[in-house]
Amino acid sequence: MTISTDPGAPKHMLDELGFATTRAGEGLRGEASITPAMHVPGARRLRTSILAAWADTLTGLLACQVMAPRVPVTLELDVQSYRPLPSAGPVQGHARIVKAGHSVFVATVEFTSAGAEPLAIANASFMMAPNPGLTLPPSFSVELPVRRERLVKPLAERAGCERRGSGVAVLPRSEDGLNASGTVNGGLIALAAEEAVLSLAPGDSLCSLGLRYLQPARVGPVIATARLRNGLGQVELRDSGNGDRLTGIATARIFHGTRAIRDR
């Protein structure tokens, strides 16, 4: 889960993105406004990793409804954009359940602009957290209000996610960056993967980002290492403080700008 399901819980850094959710029939609707702090470095475009975080929120809340009182954990998450994402204005996400099975839950999200222009689609799958003692709070609600605190610095800076050379990004573990199971948030892991790829393509943005979460990142820092060939990136994400275990893999594709793409 990206944003805490407990209204009384300490604030999470991704709450500062201003994403609010409401019921929409059997699905959920989410909305937020883009600010410059959400832009890709060197490009006036919304980060694809932020769409991934919002998709994780919407689909995760739907999963909570089905799996309650157990806590769901994300297995896979992908975002596919139709075109370069906007630099300003509201973004709306409409999420619905695709499959609510006994072991795996799947949901999809359609992101649009305020004028209902399609921006991207996202899909996510979940399973119950292995620990049966991990349960949702009694105050759980799928309707999340906008938090008063707003992001005032670039997201990567706020998260402490740094590019460490070509193809490498490092994300520290922070108390306000954890998910409901106390491990590094999946939306922030998406940010680390995005930063690793974009370090190989400065000034570009991602048109797609797909993540496979293999095991929780418990200790950190998470180190994302990317390779890029003909605009297609591969990323390994490792929990460096926990025996350098592989915590996830990602694939990403960049929008081709005027800059020549070099193989790395």
* 146 in any annotated domain: yes
pLDDT-derived band of residue 147, with 50, 70 and 90 as boundaries? confident
* 152 in any annotated domain: yes
Burial class from Cβ neighbours inside 10 Å (0-12, 13-18, 19+) for residue 180 reads buried
Q: What is the reported pLDDT for 47?
A: 97
The residue segments making up the domain with residue 55 are 13-254
Q: What is the reported pLDDT for 11?
A: 76
Q: What is the reported pLDDT for 262?
A: 40
Contact between 228 and 243 under an 8 Å Cβ cutoff? The reply is no
Alpha-carbon distance of 108 to 115, in angstroms, equals 20
* Model confidence at 153: pLDDT above 50: yes
Alpha-carbon distance of 190 to 237, in angstroms, equals 10
Mean pLDDT (the chain) is 92
* 264 in any annotated domain: no
> Up-side HSE of residue 217: CA atoms within 13 Å toward CB?
35
* 233 in any annotated domain: yes
* 46 in any annotated domain: yes
* 109 in any annotated domain: yes
Q: Higher-confidence residue: 4 or 219?
A: 219
* 8 in any annotated domain: no
* Model confidence at 9: pLDDT above 90: no
Q: What is the reported pLDDT for 181?
A: 81
Query: In the predicted model, what is the mean pLDDT of residues 155-175?
Result: 97
Q: What is the reported pLDDT for 50?
A: 98
Q: What is the reported pLDDT for 191?
A: 98
DSSP 8-state assignment for residue 69? T
The 10s digit of each residue's pLDDT in 180-209 is 788 999 999 999 999 999 999 999 999 999
Percent of the chain with pLDDT over 70: 93
DSSP 8-state assignment for residue 210? E
Whether residue 221 is preceded by a cis peptide bond, meaning omega within 30 degrees of 0, is yes
* 78 in any annotated domain: yes
CATH number, domain with residue 241:
2.40.160.210
3-state per-residue secondary structure call for 143-157 = CCCCCCCCCCCCHHH
User: How many structural domains are present in the chain?
Assistant: 1
* Model confidence at 178: pLDDT above 90: yes
pTM given for the model: 0.93
* Model confidence at 90: pLDDT above 90: yes
pLDDT-derived band of residue 257, with 50, 70 and 90 as boundaries? low
Query: In the predicted model, what is the mean pLDDT of residues 44-66?
Result: 96
The secondary structure of 99-134 as a DSSP string is EE-SS-EEEEEEEEETT--EEEEEEEEEEE-S-TT-
